[in-house]
């Protein structure tokens, strides 16, 4: 990028007479004063038209890859032809490159270029920007399109979550984020899954156990399992305790009991874990397990197991 900028600023030449490249180091230091990569990339964006800058600014939060149709749904103020022209200008300026297999898809030349475009959004306005972008996509995409671009749409709401005040909308989004987080966790992506499940829990609000009991139970159970998997035993135990206080029946409490038992075993509290398990079997499922079984009872139990 530095070499590209030096060439763009005509800071290097070639003398045919001496057959040597001509470089003025002082001029380079003056014109490009130890700029960071981000600054160099942002300088390249200055050559773009205002329309193209606006289009790229809308596209950068959507990811490294830009789908022309998705970008059009996000920006209803610009026609598809206008967006297409803007993307082509960015290709000509080597900001984007075309996907050789799909004409409607583009890609930033590299992630640093995407970051340079994204950095043009003022930091204090990014939350509002993401929320507005997510809402626009949610409203304009068809059900099929929404499913195809669900992770992209959800991340906009996650990053703009502070702006969401309508509780019905929050519950709908909590369900979407939960589905992604649960899928990620099942695929052993515990960090990413945990992040999404935390956001899903955030969207629930204070009255969710009363208003959306089943959704709350699912989110809390999944998040507790993730916290246990990553070694956050205190967090897992805390979530399990809340589930136990809100669950309506033994079946709903079963997952939380398992978490509490496992956290005790993980903390090397074997006796406490065993006692917890026995208490659950006795109290929740009414199994007649004696506290101090006689030898005859032990033998009979072993026979039944065989």
Domain(s) of CATH 1.10.10.10: residues in the chain = 35-121
> CB of 11 within 8 A of CB of 26?
no
Homologous superfamily (CATH) for 165-287:
Tetratricopeptide repeat domain (1.25.40.10)
d(CA 48, CA 294) in angstroms, rounded, equals 85
Q: Residue 7 is encoded by which pair of tokens?
A: 């060439």
The pTM score is 0.68
Domain(s) of CATH 1.25.40.10: residues in the chain = 165-287
The pLDDT of residue 6 is: 53
Residues ≥6 apart with Cβ < 8 Å to 34: none
pLDDT tens per residue across all 306 residues of the chain? 455 555 555 556 656 666 666 666 565 555 554 445 567 677 778 889 999 999 999 999 998 998 898 999 998 888 888 999 999 999 998 899 988 777 778 999 888 889 889 998 999 999 999 999 999 998 899 888 887 888 888 889 888 888 888 899 899 989 988 998 999 898 988 998 999 899 899 999 889 999 999 999 999 999 999 999 999 999 999 999 999 999 999 999 999 999 999 999 999 999 999 999 988 988 888 888 777 777 776 677 777 766
> CB of 33 within 8 A of CB of 5?
no
Q: Classify 45 as helix, strand or coil.
A: helix
Cα distances from 92 to residues 85, 159, 183, in angstroms, run 11, 31, 39
CATH code assigned to 35-121 = 1.10.10.10
- Token pair 């959507």 in the structure block, residue: 62
């Amino acid at each position: 990028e530095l070499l590209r900028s030096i060439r763009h600023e005509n800071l290097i030449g070639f003398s045919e007479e001496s057959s040597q490249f001509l470089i003025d180091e002082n001029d380079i230091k003056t014109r490009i004063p130890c700029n960071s990569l981000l600054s160099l990339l942002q300088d390249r964006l200055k050559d773009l038209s205002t329309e193209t800058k606006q289009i790229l600014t809308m596209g950068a939060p959507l990811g490294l890859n830009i789908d022309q149709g998705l970008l059009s749904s996000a920006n209803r103020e610009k026609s598809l032809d206008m967006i297409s022209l803007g993307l082509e200008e960015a290709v000509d300026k080597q900001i984007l490159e075309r996907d050789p297999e799909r004409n409607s898809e583009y890609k930033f030349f590299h992630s640093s270029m995407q970051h340079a475009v994204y950095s043009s959004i003022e930091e204090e306005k990014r939350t509002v920007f993401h929320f507005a972008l997510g809402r626009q996509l949610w409203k304009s995409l068809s059900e099929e399109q929404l499913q195809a671009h669900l992770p992209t749409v959800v991340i906009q709401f996650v990053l703009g979550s502070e702006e969401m005040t309508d509780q019905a909308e929050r519950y709908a989004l909590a369900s979407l984020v939960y589905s992604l987080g649960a899928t990620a966790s099942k695929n052993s992506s515990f960090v990413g899954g945990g992040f999404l499940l935390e956001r899903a829990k955030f969207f629930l609000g204070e009255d969710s156990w009363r208003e959306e009991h089943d959704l709350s139970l699912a989110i809390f159970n999944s998040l507790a399992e993730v916290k246990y998997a990553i070694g956050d035993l205190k967090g897992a135990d805390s979530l399990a305790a809340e589930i136990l206080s809100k669950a309506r029946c033994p079946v709903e409490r079963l997952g939380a009991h398992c978490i509490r038992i496992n956290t005790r075993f993980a903390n090397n509290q074997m006796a406490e874990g065993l006692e917890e398990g026995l208490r659950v079997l006795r109290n929740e499922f009414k199994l007649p397990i004696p506290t101090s079984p006689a030898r005859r009872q032990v033998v009979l139990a072993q026979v039944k197991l065989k």
